[in-house]
Structure 1
């Protein structure tokens, strides 16, 4: 069957009553956690991850993915109405979106953000549908040695593009890899770093660590912030942009789609990068760059579209390579693995109903986002008016229920609490905790591929330099190292010259 026929089969799966309901739950919950400052897609997905363990794999993945792109959109609401980004990728939206709201165009700004998100999401899903089968066939030729190098490249990219200093990012990656070694060895069943604690036999709970390091630490940081502004609810008529605003948003939305899709394919490149690049491009192309930061429509439409376009293309490394490109897709990888499914080049042939059902559900979910969010602006405004001191206990309770429901283990609650405090302290000292969770997820697969390659070669490390794929990946690895070093040296020289 060709891609179109398979997509039709995917719609047959996604349009079942159960999967439509789960898609609705995902985008609704994702929008809610995206709107609320202090939460985001990672925490929202981690909270509902345990519920998917007893679900049909397709339905569970559809729901979690809905949370993912729903939260990406939801962050724009608080950014526009309050100048408070619901999640990090909505920082750029604050610049011109809130300025439009101050000029009485909050409704139009929300509509432009919603439609732009739909355009970016839909075009990126189309790209995912077209590219994924070809990349999957290509990856089938990659052996364990090349796969181990590919995992290493992903971690290297995370180090180079992370917001923090490279040494701190490297430290967090090392921490994630170290945590991943805890538990029984998957090949020999030897106990590793368990210290007699049987609760660690299956390793540290990823759900507990993710909820703690993202959800709990975000709440601890948010409790220090106060919301003094009270947003007003736009009327239905105010949601309609003027002809001039609609015309000015078309070009930025199309360019943002291309920028977001291209950058989302690269593992380690977050939504923040694509939104800032889109904003910079629109400002450069604008005939009136002085309007940016003062309510420019292009400064809102471009980044918002790029944001959701990145969400779609970020699924390509996960589904085709089995690599979580960003922290949120690490949750999806964990959900796949909990059902005994390994994303990668074999996913399209071994589980086509999941792959095509997921793509079809993303089309449906993007439509649901537009239909849900604009009429529900009033509800989200009321949520934003709730003091975080009241919301925090409810969220902590939900976190605890989510962690306990995974294995009914009280030990995991201690892990969640400890991870929350550790995440809070690390972030206070300028450490980015996302690389640690990415390394935790990638570590098992990298170790397995590394040991499988050495088993095949009878302990000969030359296998990592043999084969076309391995050599290509080694060349890419070396190129990234060289480019990073040269760029650091060049930047240092420019700083010295500026002085």
Structure 2
């Protein structure tokens, strides 16, 4: 009964004219970003974050969420038509999607992506609605020690699941933690790491570090590797799939939806991992293994379903526990903090209209994606012909205006440029910046709960292992770190023995 009442509240919130407009705008921008190579939801959300200050909290989150799952959808269009994935999660789609397009079956591939995205997105929203409440209720039994252990687990999970070297990821987390400690200490009021600069008394702005490390650095990296090429557009005869296509893609959509919903909850997994896993699963279970790599519709339907389902369920740890499972979710967490919403289980009880309104808006947004995008395929393809050298000055200007408008401080604009240089150097050193941002967001909260637990226990460190939930979470974190390090340890031992 409570579930029905909550969904009713969500419908009342999401179906207001204002919030419907925010959902439509977010989905449109997300698809646009997914189509254009070199950009992504992370860059776009960091750029638009300052411009959400004037919006209501629910309106801002609805629009930013629409950008996130809209980008997961939009990347499939160019991946299929021109073999150019707009998003990392759409790389797998190019394998069979573009082959289908070259065979004159672009319409079937696009339809499989659209239908799979809608079904999987709706399933992901259902999982989010059903399991978020119980998870939040369990979280209410947590004390400072449990929250510290949980956030520590989130940091370790994010580090161990990154694709880069483990030590580099750990280093990025530590740097993020240190940057997050800049400014005035909440407990004592002492200013730390400000180097005598009053502009740093309140700490480094989340907007500054996110735009600098991601948006600026991505623009420079894209300009460096960008090579102009004429997009070869595949002809589109019809977007209606045949009966045989529907019969073959239905099981793939269901499998992809289930797999993506599961992987989306795991911190650090994300939509890209879900799409790769789904493609591997389809290749192993399909009756048409010989067609994979040559235009199998299952190779489009499965991955596209998985990445959209993962995009929805990745909100579960962010909304209910206050733990971002990815850099984009860290941005969403930052947006909540900016709008004076305390992330964590209290969101469900203190802001039920925001929580359930956001969930219902996701289903509406998935419907918008289908309605908006199939008729606009031609326009998305034309955008690919705009040279990137004409796009990046506008993006840079937009970023600087957004940063200045958020604080009216030129120092913040210079800091963005500095963090942009840092982000570019990190990319050159093959250091992923996402763990740095996660450390920056969670660092102050990890410190706060750590110190609070010690104050309540009168300095007794055993409080972290004497409480069962905290002990289990810390054990999981250590086990995850050990398992992440094992392959590298084995490789090192083999190298040593080979040298001997």
TM-score band, normalised by shorter chain: over 0.9
* 1:369 partnered with 2:353: no
Which residue of structure 1 aligns with residue 412 of structure 2? Answer: 412
1:482 offset after TM fit, Å?
3.9
Q: Larger deviation: 239-248 or 295-304?
A: 239-248
Bigger drift between 355-364 and 205-214 goes to 205-214
Aligned to 2:191: 191
Q: What residue number does 2:350 align with?
A: 350
Are 1:230 and 2:231 matched, yes or no?
A: yes
Residue number in structure 1 paired with 2:288:
288
Paired position in structure 2 for 1:242 = 242
Please name the residue that 2:315 is paired with: 315
Equivalent pair of 1:37/1:78 in contact (CA under 8 Å):
no
- Per the alignment, residue 121 of structure 2 pairs with 121
Partner of 2:152: 152
- What do residues 402-446 of structure 1 show as CA deviations (whole Å, max 9, x unaligned)? 222211211111122122222122112211111111111111111
Distance 2:140 2:465 in 1: 19
Q: Does 1:464 align with 2:464?
A: yes
Q: What CA distance in whole angstroms lies between the structure 2 residues aligned with 1:28 and 1:178?
A: 37
- Note the residue ranges of structure 1 that are not aligned, 5 or more in a row: none
Match of residue 220 from structure 2: 220
Distance 1:494 1:121 in 2: 45
Report deviation, 1:458.
1.7
Contact 1:82 1:229 in 2 (8 A): no
> What residue ranges of structure 2 are gaps of 5+ in the alignment?
none
Deviates more, 1:468-477 or 1:53-62: 468-477
Residue of structure 2 in register with 1:35 after alignment: 35
CA distance in 2, matches of 1:33, 1:72: 9
Q: Is this contact kept in 1: 2:175–2:436, CA < 8 A?
A: yes
Quote the residue 1:251 is aligned against.
251
Determine the C-alpha separation between the residues in 2 that align with 1:172 and 1:396: 25
Asked whether the equivalents of residues 82 and 234 of structure 2 are also in contact (C-alpha less than 8 Å), the reply is no
Residues 459-499 of structure 1 deviation map (CA, whole Å, 9 limit, x = unaligned): 21121112221122123223323433445456778999999
Offset from partner CA, 1:310-356 (integer Å, 9 cap, x none)? 11110000011100111111111111111221121111111100000
TM-score w.r.t. the length of structure 1 is 0.96
Contact 1:264–1:310 (8 Å) recurs in 2: yes
Deviations along 1:241-269, one digit per CA (max 9) or x if unpaired, are 22222222111111011111111111111
2:25 is matched with 25
Q: CA offset at residue 229 of structure 1?
A: 3.3
Which residue is 2:95 aligned to? 95
The answer to whether the 8 Å contact 1:233/1:381 transfers is: no
Cα distance, 1:246–1:460 mapped onto 2, change above 3 Å: same
Matched with 2:434 is: 434
1:138 is aligned to 138
Structure 1 CA distance for aligned equivalents of residues 250 and 407 of structure 2: 49
From the superposition, tell whether residues 34 and 496 of structure 1 become closer, same or farther in structure 2 (CA, over 3 Å): farther
Q: How far apart in 2 are the matches of 1:113 and 1:429?
A: 35
Residue 172 (structure 1) aligns with: 172
Over the aligned positions, Cα root-mean-square deviation in angstroms equals 2.0
Residues 40-80 of structure 1 deviation map (CA, whole Å, 9 limit, x = unaligned): 01111111111222211111111111111111111112222
Does the CA contact (< 8 Å) of 2:288 and 2:296 recur in 1? no
Measured after TM superposition, the shift of residue 185 of structure 1 is 1.1
